[in-house]
Chains A and B, each alone.
Chain A
Amino acid sequence: MPDGTLPVLDVQDLKTVFKTRAGEVHAVNDVSFHLQKGELLGVVGESGSGKSVTMMSLLGLLPMPPAEIRGGRVMFEGQDLLTLDPKGLRSVRGARIGFIFQDPMTSLNPVFTVGHQIAEPLRKHMGMSKKRATERSKELLELVGIPDAGRRLHDYPHQFSGGMRQRVMIAIALACDPQVLIADEPTTALDVTIQAQILELMKELRDKLGMAVIWITHDLGVIAGIADRVMVMYGGQVVEHAPVHELFANPQHPYTSALLKTIPSISGKRAARLTVIEGQPPLVLGAPTSCPFRDRCAQAMPVCATKVPPRYDVGEGHDAACFLVDPLEVAHAG
């Protein structure tokens, strides 16, 4: 529910590289996006497209070295997160920006009780007493729909199922009432019914608590159901960005179109084979000099090999990084 005011999170030209033996891997290349209050931004892309790395870069969660943030600005509450010292970053992490990770089976510490793990950020960031933190942890467990919360606080993660553990992870992320919640493929490791439950829960919580959410996934079906806006990433770059209906109805980038074609349809004749995008996503060694999707693109042109396409506006809140939609090129062709 964007309200048109200043964005809560504004990322400009973020650049992250990994130093490896083979050379520098440019995992995030000039990524810019913003997030409005109460909005749900979907981030889609294949594995290795830089979705997670982008989000982890924001809060210094990448191991450095080998990772290194080369440039950009991450404005949050009037300060640039990239210039904060580790202590300052820690006061943002878990307090005003919450994180949910992909695999709930391994994301919780096996030797501490669930109650302890929820109470930790409460005591650290909000200075709550042990008793108060326990009460609040119980409320949080109830909020995420875990029955018999008071008793389950004393249970260990292995006593919870995968879906329940993800609920616990959500409770931890929500503990300090964050303005922004970053969910990194939170339903990927769960089976479909549990996935639907978690999605419902997240929608409900977002409406109730009014926080902004960044939802990383490679499941376009999930995105269609919950996102307000969608950002498609490929090769560490944002290739297309649009309101959710616009993106599904009117994709401009060949990669987005190809992605949408890979979704199997439940109506009509059953296809003999699932549609795929041929080839592998690139590992960007060195600074990118061309369109990353060029090798797999059916509509590649000579210009694609010579420079990186900038993001062209193609409509209301809709942009795509492709020379096909370059107003000048279009004019030439016309």
Chain B
Amino acid sequence: MLTFTIRRLLMSIPTLLFIAFVIFMLLELAPGDPMSQMPLTIPPEVKEKMRLALGLGEPWWVRFPLWLRQFFIVEPQYWIDAIFGTNFADGAQRIISFQSRSPVFDTIAQRLPQTLWVVGMSYIVGVLIALPIGIISAYKQYSVFDQTGTFVSMIGFSVPPFFSGVLLIVIFSVQLKWLPSIYDTTHVVTSWDSFVFQLRQMIMPVMVLALQTTAQVSRYMRASMLDNLSQDYVRTARAKGLSESTVVMKHVLRNSMIPVVTVIALGIPSIFGGAIITEQIFKVNGLGQLLIIALQGNDIPMVMTITFLLAVLIVVMNLIADILYGVLDPRIRYD
């Protein structure tokens, strides 16, 4: 297992380099100008100088290795320096956003907590709701519970967040006035009251996103449970006189989790990139919103870095899913 993990990690290096190159070239070839949002009163020759100042005068074979150097060497050095007080970076140039002229990673570090709180929480809530629903739906197939679950999943699959989000705002903020419609990013939890406020502002975005996660994961869980409930080993377990809870929650569940764990692990990268619309609706200052603004402003370093981070997450989560597969299923051994 260890050799497998190391081999996979080594193999992911060329994969990630290739992904970085593809993202870079796509952005390079895409139309658009970082100066396009500058006021029209700025003369073209000044704009040209600004372009050169951003390093856009250099060809891609200079800029791409430079970005790689900044991403893989300078940034880690900087963060090590920041934590341990060392001086590896020695004032080297970090990745700088075209728009804000501040380091890209500083902005990401500011935005990450919002995203993790709202989107990450919604994923956890979604999965925690989905698993029991999937298990009960399968065990009581075609019961009222199962039919209701199927119906709710269908809604979760088919109603997009830009509809369900606005609907929730109309009901709970505009009509009932129970919950705030805007997520206050600057809010700091210091006391019980402020914690309650934080919960209240999180409820709607979390629910909108959790609905989607629940819909997907509960369907997978149900299908996987149904698959296993009809297996011969379940009959054997019952013939041994084990209680229904042992049969279902131990024998069947352990087998059913194998494919579901993969689905859950592979869904995690979407936490960081998939909530763009929901973040816009509830005004959550998260990574999704950051990416959208960077795209609109042709902020190439920012787009490049966020996209590449997502790619890294996807590769890592794939690896984790594969390892979990091996842990859960003894038939799969990677040695």
Contacts and interface: CB of A to CB of B under 8 A. Distances in A.
Interface of A: 59, 61, 86, 90-95, 98-99, 101, 103, 106-113, 120-121, 124-125, 156, 158, 169, 172
Contact of A109 (B236, B239, B328): B236
Contacts of B238: 61, 93
B242 interface: yes
Contacts of B235: 61, 101, 107
B138 to A, nearest CB: 14
Given A101-B232, A110-B331, A156-B330, A124 B237 contact: no
Given A90-B241, A94-B241, A124-B242, A111 B236 contact: no
Contact of A106 (B231, B237, B242, B331): B231
Contacts of A106: 231-233
A94 B233 contact: no
A158 B233 contact: no
Interface residues of B, number: 21
B239 A124 contact: no
A92 B241 CA distance: 7
A125 B240 CA distance: 9
A101 B236 contact: yes
A110 B239 contact: no
Nearest to B250: A112
Given A106-B231, A110-B329, A121 B236 contact: no
A95 B241 CA distance: 7
A61 B255 contact: no
Interface string B222-247: 00000000011101111111111000
Contacts of A103: 232
A158 B330 CA distance: 8
Question: Top 10 nearest A-B pairs by Cβ distance?
Answer: A94-B241, A94-B240, A99-B239, A93-B241, A106-B232, A156-B330, A109-B233, A90-B241, A121-B240, A107-B232
Given A110-B233, A110-B331, A111-B255, 8 more contacts: A59-B239, A92-B241, A101-B236, A108-B236, A109-B237, A109-B254, A111-B328, A111-B330
B331 A158 contact: yes
Contact of A93 (B240, B251, B254): B240
A110 B330 contact: yes
Nearest to A92: B241
B141 to A, nearest CB: 11
A92 to B, nearest CB: 7
Nearest to A62: B235
Nearest to B328: A111
B331 A125 contact: no
A108 B240 CA distance: 12
Contacts of A61: 235, 238-239
Contacts of A86: 244
A110 B231 CA distance: 11
Contacts of B241: 90-95, 121, 124-125
B226 to A, nearest CB: 13
A168 B234 CA distance: 16
A59 B236 CA distance: 12
Interface string B249-278: 001001100100000000000000000000
Contacts of B251: 109, 112
Contacts of A120: 237, 240, 242
A111 B239 contact: no
Contacts of B239: 59, 61, 93-94, 98-99, 101
B323 to A, nearest CB: 16
28 contacts: A59-B239, A61-B238, A86-B244, A90-B241, A90-B242, A90-B243, A92-B241, A93-B239, A94-B239, A95-B241, A99-B239, A101-B235, A103-B232, A107-B232, A107-B233, A107-B235, A107-B236, A108-B236, A109-B254, A109-B255, A111-B255, A111-B329, A120-B240, A124-B240, A124-B241, A169-B236, A172-B236, A172-B240
